[in-house]
Amino acid sequence: MSGDLAGGPLVTVRGVHRSFGSGPTAVHALRDVSFDVTAGTMVALVGRSGSGKTTLLNIVGGLDHPDAGTVVVDGAEVTGLDDDGLSQLRRAKVAYVFQTFGLIPVMTAAENVGVPLRLARMPTAERERRVELLLELVGLADHGEQRPAELSGGQQQRVAIARALAASPRLVIADEPTGQLDAETGLSVMALLRGVVESEGVTVLVSTHDPVMMALADRVMRMHDGQVDP
């Protein structure tokens, strides 16, 4: 599980600042944040609500832009990309898993997983094989024809993880992925994320409040008041 075996950094963050508002009422969400994430590892970002975790994840993934500083993901300087470049980054290199699952209600589990592959115009037969493999990976091989409303919360999050992995991203960003799940289901979802680091060779950056889940990570980064502890 050691990052030493995985190679160099996939993510490099240097001197990132992000504030919301201005003047004395400004909220300084991130203050001079710098760190690396080694390729092929799982890193847990830990801190209280309001510590800056979500803002940091959004900036790493190109959903938000810092006021200062740089972010590089797999050789691409995220902070220097235009809208087209950011769209390409999210299609090819970065995928997201959210607390609220974000599945399309009218689609089956298999169809939800296949959405990124349709966008990538993968041939139908190849797409169907990839979807079948991913549903098997997340333990839902027999649930591909069910819609989100027919699945439990834990099953929906597993579908969301399979969808995130569909296009073989280099980095999966998971923002409180177990926040709406009970402790046992949440732990199984975190164990699944741990497993995909091993089986798919993906890098995972995950925020969490749960200290039990930190044991599954290769590294824990703690945030306080917009800063990452050294």
pLDDT tens-digit map of 156-169: 999 999 999 998 99
Mind listing the pLDDT tens digit for each residue in 129-142?
999 999 998 999 99
CA-CA distance, 115 to 70, in Å (whole number)? 31
Q: Could you tell me the strand order of the sheet in which 68-73 lies?
A: 27-38, 9-20, 68-73, 76-77
- Identify any residues that bridge with 46 across adjacent strands, giving them in sequence order: 208, 222
pLDDT at 179: 83
In a domain, 128, yes or no: yes
For the record, the structure tokens of 49 come out as 């609500």
Give the rounded distance of the alpha carbon of 173 from its chain centre.
1
Name the average pLDDT for the chain: 90
The confidence score (pLDDT) of residue 173 equals: 95
Whole-model pTM: value is 0.88
Q: Show the domain range for 162.
A: 103-167
DSSP assignment letter at 47? -
Whether pLDDT at 4 is above 70: no
Residue 7: band (very low, low, confident or very high) from pLDDT cuts 50, 70, 90: low
Q: Looking at the domain assignment, is residue 26 inside a domain?
A: no
Number of structural domains in the chain: 1
Residue 66 lies in a domain: no
Has residue 123 been placed in a domain?
A: yes
The residue among 87, 75, 104, 227 whose CA lies nearest residue 163 is 104
In-domain check, residue 45: no
Which residue type does 203 have? T
Residue 27 forms part of a structural domain: no
Produce one character per residue of 188-218: b if its CB has 16 or more CB atoms within 10 Å, e if not.
ebbebbbebbeebebbbbbbbeeeebeebbb
Q: Is residue 142 part of a domain?
A: yes
Please indicate, yes or no, if residue 44 is contained in any of the structural domains: no
Name the more confident of 137 and 68.
68
**pLDDT digits over 18-64, tens only?**
999 988 888 999 999 999 999 999 999 998 888 899 999 999 999 99
